[in-house]
Amino acid sequence: MGIKGIGIDIVDINEFKQTACGKRGKDFVSRNFTENEIAYAASIGIKPFCPLRLSANFAAKEAAYKAFGIGWINGKDVEVTHDAKGAPRLSLKGEIGKIKKKRKIGGALVSLSYTNSHAIAVVILTS
């Protein structure tokens, strides 16, 4: 398994919360996150969602685009899902999915972490 790209991003949770919960927050969230991501973020009982989880997902989306060496295309094209044990996975669709196929990227590994103040994500593209 060879490495074809690495991306990392860190998000200030307070700034993210101001954006996601602010005046235009609903538009920001619906434009950048899939229904599944929003539902997963809300699953811990904080309504309408948990900024910790969405901020980590946002960092993963940014890290994915950095790993590809391109700018942001569409937030919903990079979806963070979780396996049965809760480990994060990336689903790449739309334009980024086409780029993945064109560049013969076999997979995208993701690691997420957060504290009370910051969320971080690392994405590794493999052959």
Averaged over 75-99, what is the pLDDT?
95
CA–CA gap between residue 52 and residue 116 (Å, rounded): 8
Number of domains in the chain: 1
pLDDT above 70 coverage of the chain, percent: 94
Query: CATH code at 47?
Result: 3.90.470.20
pLDDT of 49: 59
Q: Above 70 in pLDDT, residue 18?
A: yes
- Integer-rounded Cα radius of gyration of the chain: 14
Q: H/E/C letters for each residue in the chain?
A: CCEEEEEEEEEEHHHHHHHHHCCCHHHHHHHHCCHHHHHHHHCCCCCCCCHHHHHHHHHHHHHHHHHHCCCCCCHHHEEEEECCCCCEEEEECHHHHHHHHHCCCCEEEEEEEECCCEEEEEEEEEC
Q: Above 90 in pLDDT, residue 35?
A: yes
pLDDT of 52: 80
pLDDT of 1: 74
Q: How many residues are there in the chain?
A: 127
Q: Above 60 in pLDDT, residue 119?
A: yes
The range of the structural domain enclosing residue 93 comes to 3-126
